[in-house]
Structure 1
Amino acid sequence: METYTAMRHFADVWGLLAMAIFFVGVILFTFRPSGRKAAENAAQIPLKED
């Protein structure tokens, strides 16, 4: 039972930290200034006529 408790504690602490870092990374990647032109081009794809 001690192994389960230790693994649970490890997953609670480091799993939460990893998810938080991933979340912040996705937010920073999404709102980076250099991505504006690419996002605008991608948004216009459905509106372009063949």
Structure 2
Amino acid sequence: MDIYSFLRELADSWVLLSLVLFFLGTVVFAFRPGSGPLHRDAAESIFRHEKGPQMTGEKEVE
């Protein structure tokens, strides 16, 4: 058996199985019970210290 056939068999079976299990584990981890507040806090963290746009006269300064 040459190296190409061996790697092709490996990729078609065990590597595919391990990637599917990794994907399912990632999905379960992201949607686990109780993680909603953590995700919401991470999503809103960029707005935590924002005061809003500063107004000088009639133009908005960014």
Tell me which protein shows more strand as a share of its residues.
2
Cα deviations by residue, 1:1-50 (Å, 9 ceiling, x for unpaired)? x1422343123200000000000000010111111111111111011116
Aligned match of 2:23 = 23
Identity, % of aligned pairs? Answer: 31
> TM-score of the superposition, structure 2-length normalised?
0.66
> TM-score of the superposition, structure 1-length normalised?
0.79
Give yes or no for the alignment of 1:36 onto 2:36: yes
SS in 2 for 1:34: coil
Q: Which structure carries more relative contact order (alpha carbon 8 Å, separation 6+)? A: 2
Unaligned runs of 5+ in 1: none
Amino acid at match of 1:47: F
Aligned match of 2:8 = 8
Tell me which protein shows more helix as a share of its residues.
1
Figure out how many residues of one structure are paired with residues of the other and give that number: 49
